[in-house]
Amino acid sequence: MAVSTNKQLAFVGALLTIVGLAYSLLTFGFNTFPFSSAPVFGLSLGLFLAPLSIIGFILFLLAMYGFSRDYQDSAIFNYILYGLIITIVVGIILVGVVLAFVFSSLRSIIETPGFTAEFSRILLRDFLPVFLGASFLGLVSPIFHMLAFNRLTGKSGVRLFRTVGLLGVVAAAVTVAFWFLGAALFYMGVLAIGNIFMFSVVGSVVSLVSWILAAKAFRSIPMPTSQTYGTSPPPPPPSGGSVEYCPYCGTANALDAEYCVNCGKKL
């Protein structure tokens, strides 16, 4: 695909991601902070926007693959792919750990008259250290994204991509840090367990800013010149005198040349 097409795909993908993040932040704010008495946008809108975020990431993935082809640098796409694979693996591991933890507590669940709110609170409390430990793995994917954006900076000349990649890592690091802060407050008896992850809104805001800058950066990618990436212009014809054209590639050579200056074959 041409650079112009990849620019459009990446820009639209960034916009869809921005919409999804903005809706999540607004909904989270209505439910958590002083706006809790205000009406929420509604579940139907959330169900509509969730697929849009997925579509946005797919478009972003396709665009990064296209950029890797345009600039002949496979690392641009490979870094994004590595981050995606690690995210999927971490997700599977977390699901497995949760299931193992629940199965190990089956006896308590059976003996408890109904899955009460108190039991779920205890379950979350016991599982919280495992989740916090695994949350550090969530930093790996943003680091790979930063590496990909740095490569894209070098190829496109748009320095804003470096800021985008750095903000992605900052957003993940801030999220993990505030989760630990919330957990500490919970174990101190200051914060309810259901409010531990409300601090993740800070990291989400940073992530939203990074995607807004990403949309701007994608729009700023300059269009390539007519020269194809990775190829060198054909050698100029000899100045003055008669020339002999190569019968294989048609390149002009000096009359006394024995080998073609372009393809190297004997004249």
> Dihedral sign, CA of 124, 129, 134, 139?
positive
Query: How far apart are the C-alpha atoms of 94 and 92, rounded to whole Å?
Result: 5
What does the pLDDT read at residue 63?
A: 93
Cα torsion 24, 26, 32, 34 to 10°: value is: 170
Query: How far apart are the C-alpha atoms of 123 and 218, rounded to whole Å?
Result: 44
Rg (Cα) of the chain, in Å, rounded?
27
What is the average pLDDT value for the chain, to the nearest integer?
76
Interval 125-131 mean pLDDT: 67
Amino acid at the residue 260: C
What does the pLDDT read at residue 164?
A: 95
pTM to 2 decimal places: 0.69
pLDDT band at 251 (very low <50, low <70, confident <90, very high): confident
What does the pLDDT read at residue 227?
A: 47
Interval 203-225 mean pLDDT: 88
Interval 48-68 mean pLDDT: 85
Pairing mode, if any, of strands 243-245 and 252-254? antiparallel
Interval 174-186 mean pLDDT: 81
